[in-house]
Structure 1
Amino acid sequence: MIEISTIARLTALLATFFCGTAAVHAATSDWVDNQGGRMRLVALAPDTQGHIRAALQIEPEPGWITYWREPGQGGIPPQITPAPGSGVTLARASYPVPKPISVGPVREIGYDAPVTFPLDLRVTGEAPDKLELTAFVGLCKDICIPFQAEYSLPLPANAQPTSRELALLDAAQAVLPEAPSADFAIQNYQISADAKSLSLRLTLPEAGGKAPEIYVTGPSGYVFFQQANAKHEGTTFSADIEIGKLPKDYDPKGKSWGILVVDGDRAMETTLALE
């Protein structure tokens, strides 16, 4: 458990900012350093379909944390932004399984160890000869430091990745949550008429045991994880997720929300189409 003064964190957020520019060699940038850790970018040249396979590596210093795509009740979500006019867009950033982190009375969601975010980038026109993007993350301990780095990686069309770069990208992909399967899936779900709770019925890999961690991501900036009425019946688990407050005039009907279920050493991620 990490105890952090909320006042100190907010003061540091307003007062402290770090920005670095990374030099490059091959398809891997140099590390950009910060008081709370460091990060770098790895990218391959576009394939024949215009996909750029890349990853952002973040290594917090011991005792520091960084955040999942929805950081919980506090923290800073990662933001990865290709340079405007660069001819590249971010199709998807993927995130390994996070952990709940208690920060005083605040519950956050993130990582207290090195983490790599796989990136799926798309070329929108002619293949660029370099990849330019900005990464913005939060690193927190007794203070919280916004950490920004700007990258410019050459992407020559005939460049061959090193075995180390391929291994890094493959390893990052291998630890992502799995897709639903016969033994790990959402059986059914229903949001209440007042949008205050989401009822879930899941198939879990193992019978009994601890309740799984469940993270439901709604509109941007909202994540829900408080469980009520949890019940195990063999490999079936049911619970109500407390939704609480949503943005003013927000109607969940017709929206797609994300869900991550962590059960022991397995995790499953999918989307919920709300009706």
Structure 2
Amino acid sequence: MKSRLAILSALLCLPGLVFADAMYDDVIRAELRPGWRLANGDHMAALHLSLAPGWKTYWRAPGETGIPPLFDWRGSQTRAIAVEWPAPHVFYQSGMRSVGYKGEVVLPLRVSVKGKGRDVRLSGTIDLGICKDVCLPHRVHVEAILPATGGKPDPSIVAALADLPFSAAEAGVRGVSCDVRLDAGGVTLRTEIDMNRTGGAPETVIETADPDLWVADPATRWEGDTLISETRVSHASGQPFALNRSDVRITVLTEQLAVDIEGCRR
């Protein structure tokens, strides 16, 4: 993943990329679902995005040509906000891969509130990408009051939580290994995941904890019950770097399941 400056610089160079303005406001609608207060005092809310037919938006790791979403919750009466990501889809257009959602998506928000037992204001500005024939950076503003009492589980949020990827343990992953080899200007990364084979062509998304590292779209294949992915990792500055295997995050996407794997075990 690149730093924000590197991402914006790359976007400016993408062919066909223009910046969205008010004429595209009808392409995407954003609202906050106020949700309900949890037993531990936190609050479960959600960002609900609705897209016009044929349009898509991007996941947290959007692929080489995607636009990663950026959240700014300043002005909210909260301590922290964690975005939960339902399993995304992989799209191919003109030979390029992107990862995201089309139609509608509900992103659950786990909110740590300031002060227990009172209503709080959640206010956010989200910079995201929307894409059809062209890809556009777009900004939406959302605001809602999160009620301390009277809220009950929202079926849309509950369904989105149920669609989160399985953990490695839940999916029966038996082992994960990462092999790192130096090459000119970066490293090649090969991951091997020992897990039960599922139907359909597999896809993987590989992330690191360092925002200045750029991970190319992996080539992924099954060899028996081992899922193998190979990719290249480089630093936004072009300088040498160390890749911490325990910080590697792998998301496996198949027709039957999604699995979120954090860290290589060897």
TM-score normalized by the length of structure 1 = 0.76
User: Which letter maps to 1:59?
Assistant: S
Q: How many percent identity over aligned positions?
A: 22
Aligned positions of 1:95-174 closer than 5 A: 95-125=85-115, 129-161=120-152, 166-174=154-162
Aligned pair 1:56/2:47, yes or no? yes
Alignment equivalent of 2:232, drawn from 228, 237, 243: 243
Taking structure 1 as reference, are residues 85 and 129 closer, same or farther at Cα in structure 2, changes over 3 Å only? closer
How far, CA to CA, are the matches of 1:182 and 1:46 in structure 2? 27
Deviations 1:201-248 (A, max 9, x none): 321254xx54421111123374444226x4432xx1241421242343
Tell me the CA shift for residue 166 of structure 1: 1.4
Tell me the CA shift for residue 177 of structure 1: 1.0
Tell me the CA shift for residue 255 of structure 1: 5.0
TM-score normalized by the length of structure 2 = 0.78
Match in the other structure for 1:82: 73
Taking structure 1 as reference, are residues 110 and 153 closer, same or farther at Cα in structure 2, changes over 3 Å only? same
Match in the other structure for 1:189: 177
Aligned pair 1:93/2:83, yes or no? yes
Tell me the CA shift for residue 93 of structure 1: 1.2
Aligned pair 1:257/2:248, yes or no? yes
Deviations 1:45-93 (A, max 9, x none): 5445331211111111111110011111122222233224633321x21
Do the aligned residues in 1 keep the contact of 2:176 with 2:264 (CA within 8 Å)? Answer: no
Deviations 1:123-182 (A, max 9, x none): 255655322222222111223333322222123422333xxx611111111111112237
How far, CA to CA, are the matches of 1:50 and 1:114 in structure 2? 29
Runs of 4+ in 1 over 6 A off after TM superposition: none
Which sections of structure 2, spanning at least 5 residues, go unmatched? 1-13
Match in the other structure for 1:200: 192
How far, CA to CA, are the matches of 1:263 and 1:7 in structure 2? 30
Tell me the CA shift for residue 197 of structure 1: 1.5
